[in-house]
Amino acid sequence: MKDLIIEKESSERTILIGIVTPQQSEAKTMEYLDELEFLADTAGAVTVHKFIQKLNGPDSRTYVGSGKLEEIRSYVEENEIGMAIFDDDLTPKQVANIERELKIKILDRTSLILDIFAKRAQTANAKTQVELAQYQYLLPRLTRLWTHLERQRGGIGMRGPGERQIETDRRIILDKISRLKAELKDIDRQKSIQRKNRGKLSRVALVGYTNVGKSTLMNLLSKSEVFAENKLFATLDTTVRKVIIDNLPFLLTDTVGFIRKLPTHLVESFKSTLDEVRDADVLLHVVDISHPNFEEQIEVVNRTLADVCGSVNKPIIMVFNKVDAFTYTPKAEDDLTERTRSNISLDELKASWMAKMGSDAVFVSAKTGLNIEELKQKIYEKAKEVHLSRFPYNDFLFQKYDDLADSTD
């Protein structure tokens, strides 16, 4: 497994490789590679160059064509490149062929994400989930790890074919996967007991794409010190804090962020973490409105939530964060070219489909504190509705007598 993921923090010179297909435009490919560069930076690698090639689909042997691979090989030799990261998942055959040509470490998007997850995991729950995902990723890729041991081991008395080394390893890994799944079931049981013991408090969960500012908002609302950093997957462990707004206490949960092209088995491994989302009464969907493709990120989150939680039938507040970082380029009056996303101002965005959301949308900056009080009021109203539905005879921390005084006047 050590060959497949980066185990240590390193600053290896890295190249990124992606393809343009009829289904994926060049602009989209470059955007994916920018995100891949951010992932590589989070893992400790330094991106030196990006390669793209137009193809109908990935080459079954080497992902890119033979000519492009030769160009990459020349660049690798001339610039002392230590690692190549591909934007899509590679088959074991592709990895073996590319390694033979380039003679450097080869990673794909999944192995890079797994490496970041392994570094970020702190709790026993997260570590077990990451280890399970690593073994599930490794299982179909055992072949290339044992090309030097093709001989068979002898059976009883050295008669019969016995068992190949790769078959032994496959059995060991399958046993480990079974053991890790059993451990996760025990952890799930403990977590569900913990959630039941939290009693009658309303539950609010922060969800959203990775690096949109969920943990920063968590720190702001709960006055705690959850680890927050401008890197992908800074949060991997679910954090729960008790928050009191006015006279209403509730539980606020920070969850792992989502990302495009998240491997299926990785989503499966983190279902127990997302139980917090399933059990939440209100969801705060945090969006980085300064990102040029924030609408696609919203779709990714909604799709992943639907996969993990089924139909999400809960009150949702859309929190458009990072308004302080929002920029746009006004079009000149004599410019007759078509307007793009970069020409739309924040006020125009607010007047678009977001306006239809009414009170369920709020524009904030967790960094500067802009409109945080408005957000608190919206959370209070939603959590209060849940609270009153459970306790119609009032169970607040204290009665707000100002309201009573106003009504008597």
Q: What is the pLDDT of residues 339-389, one digit of tens each?
A: 777 788 888 888 888 887 877 899 999 889 899 999 999 999 998 888 888
Distance CA 273, CA 271 (A): 5
The pLDDT of residue 16: 96
The pLDDT of residue 393: 67
- Please name which of 225, 321, 312 lies closest in space to residue 277, comparing C-alpha atoms: 312
Q: Where are the beta strands (DSSP E) in 142-238?
A: 152-153, 163-164, 202-208
- Please name which of 47, 41, 37 lies closest in space to residue 13, comparing C-alpha atoms: 47
- 3-class DSSP state of 32: helix
Rounded to whole angstroms, what are the CA distances from 108 to 25, 81, 133, 189, 344? 20, 16, 15, 34, 35
Q: Which residues contact 348 (CB under 8 A, 6 or more apart)?
A: none
Distance CA 74, CA 92 (A): 23
Distance CA 110, CA 130 (A): 12
* Cross-strand partners of 282: 204
The pLDDT of residue 154: 46
The pLDDT of residue 200: 73
The pLDDT of residue 36: 92
The pLDDT of residue 329: 84
Rounded to whole angstroms, what are the CA distances from 75 to 72, 81, 108, 187, 201? 5, 8, 19, 48, 59
Residue 396: other Cβ atoms inside 10 A: 14
Distance CA 316, CA 204 (A): 10
Rounded to whole angstroms, what are the CA distances from 231 to 12, 116, 174, 298? 18, 10, 33, 19
> Digits of tens for pLDDT over the chain (409 positions)?
444 444 444 468 999 999 999 999 998 899 899 989 988 988 889 999 999 999 999 999 999 999 999 999 999 999 989 999 999 989 888 988 999 999 999 999 888 888 888 887 777 887 888 888 888 888 887 765 554 444 444 444 444 454 567 778 888 889 999 999 899 888 878 877 877 766 678 889 999 998 898 888 988 888 877 666 656 665 666 788 889 888 888 899 888 888 887 766 677 666 656 777 888 889 999 999 999 889 999 998 888 888 766 666 788 999 999 999 999 888 877 777 887 777 888 888 888 888 878 778 999 998 898 999 999 999 999 988 888 887 766 666 666 655 544 444 4
The pLDDT of residue 290: 92
Q: What is the pLDDT of residues 253-291, one digit of tens each?
A: 888 888 887 766 677 666 656 777 888 889 999 999 999
The pLDDT of residue 197: 67
